[in-house]
Amino acid sequence: LQPAATAYYGELEEALIHGTCTSIDPSMIGSDVDTECKNKTAFSTTPLSFNPNLNHLREGLLSLPPFPQHHRERAVEKTFNSICMYAAAGYLAARPPTLEIFPSWPMNHLQQPYSVSTGSISSFTGNSHSVGSTTDSSSGQNAMPQAELVSPGSMRADSGQQQEVLMVTVDDYNYEEGLGAAATTAPIFQQHTADQDRRKHGSTRKEGKLLDAKTERRLAQNREAARKSRLRKKAYVQQLETSRIRLQQIEQELHGARSQGLFPGGGSASGDMSSGAMMFDMEYARWLEDDSKHMIELQGALQAQIMDANLVGIVEECMRHYDELFHLRAMLARADVFHLMTGLWATAAERCFLWMGGFRPSEIIKMLIPQLDPLTEQQTLGMCNLQRSSEQTEEALAQGLQQLHQSLAEAVGTSPLSDGANVANYTALMALALDRLDTLESFYRQRVLPSVTFPLKLPIMQADNLRQQTLHHMRRLLTTRQAARCFLSVGEYHRRLRALSSVWASRPRESFVAAAENVSPSGTAAEQAVHPYHQSQFSGL
């Protein structure tokens, strides 16, 4: 189970998905349109051979002078079309696998308006109509209007203002409605289109025929729809790109923090987790963040050798912070005791040394005593007694849990139906139950599991109680400075375990056989790394 990371990632993923599909900023679209509207026809003299180089395109766009809106030349409009198209095409061509929606560029010369199909292209020879969409251009639709793919055709030199247009076909590409902002730009283009259509200059169009108003209107609508879809596509792609970069940044940050041991890593798919577990994981991640801040504060305070009076505040804060953790754990024990017990909230190395869902107090005390030198005789006695009392309590708790395990095993292993006298009935019932596993499951759930799993939280919660009380007792035994060193050591110990897990997780993978051969001599890397903790002096102590 991925702890906070997955939950976080899950949320991030969702946000991204929704963000890119639903919240394309209308103002962004608007501004894009404005920018491009400002581009003049000067651009029109350049042949637009298909160039997937986005930067080239960008430069081209940026170099253009502003585009006055009152311009109604057809060429101007086409230029705008071309720019939109290229922008989209460029973006998309530069994005290989993720945006497979854009097919390759077959060359297909058609001069008629046609309904769209993926991969079909028509060349435009001085035509501005985008025969993209047969669907209504109103923004009330979810289905992606289709544009076509048009190959570069020959350019008309005479008008100097007519361009070939490359349009891109997109199939099954859903946009959210909110892109109605595109609709605001529509009227302008519709006007352009209408004007241009009226001023035909006798240019060839649809095999020389003049079209009636109805067809004209339909064509205009198609053009408009295609235009809008191009704009949306562009905006979407831009957003995707931004999000991609942002995601990379976040991933890097997280990876950096993990390898420092500041965050837990590892876990399984979030789908399995109960809501209580997920909530805990998130809270725990935040707790760890705060914990590392406290550690830094402690270290700074100790090194600066500040007055005890000031150090007390920090130490009390640390204690309170641990109390908070135990509170969170108690809530988790009630919500999902297995998550707590099995340590899915922890990293792999931590999990390895888990005792009843957490640290073993006597082990911690044992680790701390040599680091707290010098201790008074009274303190030493107190600490040793605390260690022993803790050990005894730990043993008793473990025994209690074991008794619970046994009763659970008995309950699950033995069928409650088992009635020596009525074997036939029992067998029949069992057969029936086995046939329908869900029945069996519910049967067990109703009779057996609650009576056993409910009390499971008791020894676990008592274990947490033990941990909490041990910490408080230690605090009372020690001076402020000593207590500060304790908190620092405990925090550092766990941080190193987490860092170890992270390093272990990112080790170069060997083949299974080779790894197996290498196992025996060195023992577990985790053990080896942990043992030095008992002797080593932590920095700052």
Partner 1 sequence: MDRVTKLASQRAVVIFSMSSCCMCHTVTRLFRELGVNPTVVELDEDPRGKEMEKALARLLGRNPAVPAVFIGGRLVGSTDKVMSLHLGGNLVPQLRNAGALWV
Judge contact between 228 and 139, C-beta under 8 A. Answer: yes
The 10 Å Cβ neighbour count of residue 85 is 28
> Cα–Cα distance between 240 and 85 in angstroms, integer?
18
Among positions 141, 379, 462, 479, the unique one binding partner 1 when judged by CB under 8 A: 462
3-class DSSP state for residue 314? helix
- Confirm or reject binding of residue 362 to partner 1 (CB under 8 A): no
The packing angle between helices 54-62 and 74-93, to 10°, is 150
Output 110 or 398, the one with its CB closest to partner 1.
398
Among positions 63, 249, 407, 524, the unique one binding partner 1 when judged by CB under 8 A: 407
Min dist CB 459 to partner 1, Å, is 6
3-class DSSP state for residue 398? helix
Min dist CB 260 to partner 1, Å, is 34
Among positions 122, 130, 229, 390, the unique one binding partner 1 when judged by CB under 8 A: 390
Output 113 or 361, the one with its CB closest to partner 1.
361
> In degrees rounded to 5, what are phi and psi of residue 149?
-100, 125
Instruction: Report DSSP state, residue 66.
Output: P
- Confirm or reject binding of residue 469 to partner 1 (CB under 8 A): yes
Here's the x/- map for partner 1, 426-455, by CB under 8 A: it reads as -----------------------------x
- Confirm or reject binding of residue 329 to partner 1 (CB under 8 A): no
Instruction: Report DSSP state, residue 346.
Output: S
Output 146 or 470, the one with its CB closest to partner 1.
470
Which is it for the CA torsion 374, 377, 380, 386, positive or negative? negative
- Confirm or reject binding of residue 276 to partner 1 (CB under 8 A): no
- Confirm or reject binding of residue 458 to partner 1 (CB under 8 A): yes
Output 28 or 458, the one with its CB closest to partner 1.
458
Among positions 393, 489, 501, 502, the unique one binding partner 1 when judged by CB under 8 A: 393
> Cα–Cα distance between 228 and 137 in angstroms, integer?
8
| Burial degree of 404 (CB within 10 A; 0-12, 13-18, 19+) | middle
Output 85 or 478, the one with its CB closest to partner 1.
478
| Burial degree of 188 (CB within 10 A; 0-12, 13-18, 19+) | middle
- Confirm or reject binding of residue 380 to partner 1 (CB under 8 A): no
- Confirm or reject binding of residue 365 to partner 1 (CB under 8 A): no
- Confirm or reject binding of residue 465 to partner 1 (CB under 8 A): yes
Judge contact between 302 and 481, C-beta under 8 A. Answer: yes
- Confirm or reject binding of residue 403 to partner 1 (CB under 8 A): yes
3-class DSSP state for residue 358? strand
Among positions 389, 415, 453, 479, the unique one binding partner 1 when judged by CB under 8 A: 389
The 10 Å Cβ neighbour count of residue 292 is 17
Both tokens assigned to 404 = 């619970």
- Confirm or reject binding of residue 296 to partner 1 (CB under 8 A): no
Output 298 or 463, the one with its CB closest to partner 1.
463
Here's the x/- map for partner 1, 478-517, by CB under 8 A: it reads as ----------------------------------------
Q: b/e per residue, 344-369, with b = 16+ CB within 10 A?
A: bbbbbbbbbbebbbbbbbbbbbbbbb
- Confirm or reject binding of residue 401 to partner 1 (CB under 8 A): yes
- Confirm or reject binding of residue 262 to partner 1 (CB under 8 A): no
> Cα–Cα distance between 436 and 147 in angstroms, integer?
53
Min dist CB 466 to partner 1, Å, is 6
Among positions 60, 103, 119, 400, the unique one binding partner 1 when judged by CB under 8 A: 400
> Cα–Cα distance between 16 and 248 in angstroms, integer?
13
> In degrees rounded to 5, what are phi and psi of residue 158?
-65, -50
SS3 content of the chain, % helix, strand, coil (to 5): 65, 0, 35
Among positions 233, 294, 473, 494, the unique one binding partner 1 when judged by CB under 8 A: 473
Q: CA dist 451 to 57, 404, 440, 445, 446, Å? A: 70, 11, 16, 9, 9
Among positions 382, 426, 430, 449, the unique one binding partner 1 when judged by CB under 8 A: 382
Size of the site for partner 1 (CB under 8 A): 25
- Confirm or reject binding of residue 404 to partner 1 (CB under 8 A): yes
> Cα–Cα distance between 27 and 34 in angstroms, integer?
10
> Cα–Cα distance between 382 and 90 in angstroms, integer?
74
Among positions 15, 245, 396, 515, the unique one binding partner 1 when judged by CB under 8 A: 396
Min dist CB 360 to partner 1, Å, is 14
Both tokens assigned to 468 = 């909490």
- Confirm or reject binding of residue 379 to partner 1 (CB under 8 A): no
Min dist CB 429 to partner 1, Å, is 26
Output 56 or 334, the one with its CB closest to partner 1.
334
Which amino acid is located at 444 in the chain?
Y
Give the interface segment with partner 1, choosing from 107-115, 124-132, 388-396, 437-445 (CB under 8 A). Answer: 388-396
Judge contact between 156 and 187, C-beta under 8 A. Answer: no
Among positions 308, 395, 410, 419, the unique one binding partner 1 when judged by CB under 8 A: 395
Interface with partner 1 by CB under 8 A: which residues? 382, 385-386, 389-390, 392-393, 395-397, 399-401, 403-404, 407, 455, 458-459, 462, 465-466, 469-470, 473
